[in-house]
Amino acid sequence: MKWLHNLLKGCSLTTALFVFQACYGTPPGMYDRSLNFKVVSSETDEPIEGVQISFKEYEDENLDWIPIGVTNSDGEAYVTFVNWYKDSPKFRFKAEDEIFQVKDSVIADMTPRLVQIRLQKAE
């Protein structure tokens, strides 16, 4: 009988949380964002496979870069992430083979679209 009581108590808590989320929605300041990146070589315009895409919301040396995607064989990656602030987040593009320089970029226009990124070869 005690297990039935615990089961009903757990279901009640889950139901209460669901109703709270349904009534009050997403917490203020949290925005789901999506962008489609195409990463190419600045010298040849060829797509670059295996580029890790990371982001952080604002400049703070204590914050880590959050990985959100890796480019495919066409140099493309469709990424979805949560941006807690309206400010433009900063993105980092880092090729896994280190033939290309790491590039940090601020994307001001967060409208879902294709964003082309050009990486230069490392010296």
Residue-wise pLDDT tens digits, 34-43: 889 999 999 9
Is pLDDT above 90 for 27?
Answer: no
Whole-number Å distance between alpha carbons of 86 and 29: 7
In DSSP terms, which residues pair with 22 in a beta bridge? none
Distance of alpha carbon 10 from its chain centroid, rounded? 33
Give just the sign of the alpha carbon dihedral 83, 85, 88, 93.
negative
Residues 108 and 88: beta-carbon distance below 8 Å: yes
| pLDDT score, position 63 | 79
The whole-model pTM stands at 0.69
Is pLDDT above 70 for 107?
Answer: yes
pLDDT digits (tens, 9 = 90+) for 84-99: 665 678 899 999 888 8
Nearest alpha carbon to residue 119 among 37, 55, 61, 36: 37
| pLDDT score, position 56 | 83
What is the layout of strands, in order, in the sheet containing 90-95? 66-70, 51-56, 90-95, 103-106
Residues 69 and 77: beta-carbon distance below 8 Å: yes
| pLDDT score, position 15 | 60
Which domains does the chain show, CATH number per domain? 31-119 (2.60.40.1120)
pLDDT band at 123 (very low <50, low <70, confident <90, very high): confident
